A and B are shown apart, each in its own frame.
Chain A
Amino acid sequence: MTLTLLSLTARQLLGRRRAIVIGLLALIPIVIALLYRLAGDTGAADDFTVGLVGGFVFTLLLPIGALVFGTGALGSEIEDGTIVYLLARPIARWRIVVAKAVIASLATIALTVPATLITVLIALEGLGEDSLWLAAIVPAAVGSVVYSTLFVGLSAVTGRALIIGLVYVFVWETVITNLFDGTRWVSVSQYVSGVSDALTESPHVSANLDGSQSLIASLVVIAVALAVGVRFLQRFEIGEQA
């Protein structure tokens, strides 16, 4: 039963055109890293790599990829009506939500982690020092799970999950979180930075939250997103009149 849910979700998600488009986005940091190496000025490779990973992968590729896969996994099924074929079966709603979150997370990991690793390998001509490669791919994986689950939960709540997700990523995380210190607790990008900072001694990496704070906050977000998603799917109504 669970395998069927996973398989249906994966086939539906990866067959969508926007999934292919977002795959192309993952090539951008790799191309930038290649151009950096080809330019020959590699004096500040660590600084450049941290800037590229933090400035592009963590703040753009990761949340946008998770938004596309997270909302696509559940929201698109609700929107096109195929969700009825899952809900009209004797399946606990939590299984559906968890299956959607697992596939969306795996798809986002598959998008971000290899792209991050290849970017780091090219920019640093290897794994580099201070475990920088680890400080890049582990938070990418953690962020993939947190963001994806958050957006799966959000798409169970509203049909406008894509727009709200974009506002969250580009307004809340990029602007508000930088203006008000207390909001770091409700920013997934801050958790990603916190995990990254905990894994390296590099002076180029810094964060507002420490590693354990970030992990605990990540688990809370995952749990809340799943609980909210299950709750809304349990009370799902076909929203048309007559």
Chain B
Amino acid sequence: MAAEAAANAATHAIEVRNVSRWYGDVVAVNDISFSVGPGITGLLGPNGAGKSTLLHMISGFLRPSAGAVEVLGEPSWRNTGIFRRVGLVPEREAIYPFLGARDFALASARLHGLADPREAARRAVALVELEDAQDRAMGGYSKGMRQRAKIAAALVHDPDVLILDEPFNGTDPRQRLQLMEMLRRRAAEGCTILFSSHILEEVERLAENVLVVINGRLAASGDFRQIRRLMTDRPHTFELRSSDNRALAAALVGLPHVAAIEISDGRMDVRTSDFGAFTAAIARAASDCGVTLRELRPADESLESVFSYLVGS
């Protein structure tokens, strides 16, 4: 049993089992279970869906009303010890206005009891590219700079698990790209990164896996392209370009899983009820009618379409 738990902790840094949280009569999170391993996982949902409540429970700042939350094999509630290996970037913009980014990271390093806090702070500030402003008081920072200072303070002890609540709030596109690149590097080094966002584009660009939370429930989890393919009750849309769209349309319309075809501006949109069968049949159909297939891509596999399907369902 203990060996199993240890093995589980090694592969899944974060374990959420049948967790609910309610405030009086309001259910914020309802019987959610998932696990998160190394790599980048995006927690996605509309405002008020329960994302922050979940992150607060995972980081030990909120007691689950039911269920269990474990981080690195230990319960997170009232467990300050987990922060030796966990970094947390809270959503609130609050900072110490009198400190510069370097002193903020330095204070964090000292509170972690690191052997060389100055070097750790220097490294963390460099990771978020805030060296130029590191000695200016954070009270005068822009929102994006404050976000980066908060991330530097959370990274100072080189955590195995990084939890970020809406980390890209207020960052400009260049800062966002830089932060995403930095997070990808950390994930490649084996760090478990869980971040929340209500911006689909951010999650789509960064996350390998998504957890979609809607109305306090886990609507979907995993690779969002896989999630889309599993949604068999929704027709899939493919966008095609070929040497003769009309001839290809005539060949495809006879296939049992093709629901609709629309031709416009040199391109053809095909709706199919069976993703696998269509991708298997399209090459043969094109070959049989002597048409060269120039482009074929799923048109509704973006996270946005998955999300709108889930929200609408």
**Which residues of A does B touch, CB under 8 Å?**
1, 3-5, 7-8, 11-12, 15, 80-82, 84-93, 234-238, 240-242
B222 CB to closest chain A CB (Å) equals 23
> For residue B53, which residues in chain A have a CB less than 8 angstroms away from its CB?
241-242
Residue of A nearest to B50 (CB): A242
CA distance A155 to B238 in the complex (A): 60
Interface residues contributed by chain B, number (CB under 8 Å): 39
- Is there a chain A Cβ closer than 8 Å to B88's Cβ? yes
A242 lies within 8 A of B28 (CB):
yes
B96 lies within 8 A of A90 (CB):
no
A89 lies within 8 A of B112 (CB):
yes
- Is there a chain A Cβ closer than 8 Å to B148's Cβ? no
Partner of A89 from the list B48, B63, B83 (CB cut-off 8 Å) is: B83
B94 lies within 8 A of A86 (CB):
no
> For residue A88, which residues in chain B have a CB less than 8 angstroms away from its CB?
59, 83, 86, 88, 90, 154
> For residue A5, which residues in chain B have a CB less than 8 angstroms away from its CB?
111
> For residue A236, which residues in chain B have a CB less than 8 angstroms away from its CB?
61
A92 lies within 8 A of B80 (CB):
yes
Partner of B92 from the list A84, A92, A237, A242 (CB cut-off 8 Å) is: A84
- Is there a chain A Cβ closer than 8 Å to B95's Cβ? yes
Partner of A85 from the list B50, B82, B108, B113 (CB cut-off 8 Å) is: B108
If A4-B107, A84-B90, A242-B53 touch, whether A90 touches B81 (CB-CB below 8 Å) is yes
CA distance A236 to B80 in the complex (A): 12
- Is there a chain A Cβ closer than 8 Å to B297's Cβ? no
> For residue A3, which residues in chain B have a CB less than 8 angstroms away from its CB?
110
B94 lies within 8 A of A242 (CB):
no
A241 lies within 8 A of B111 (CB):
no
B88 lies within 8 A of A84 (CB):
yes
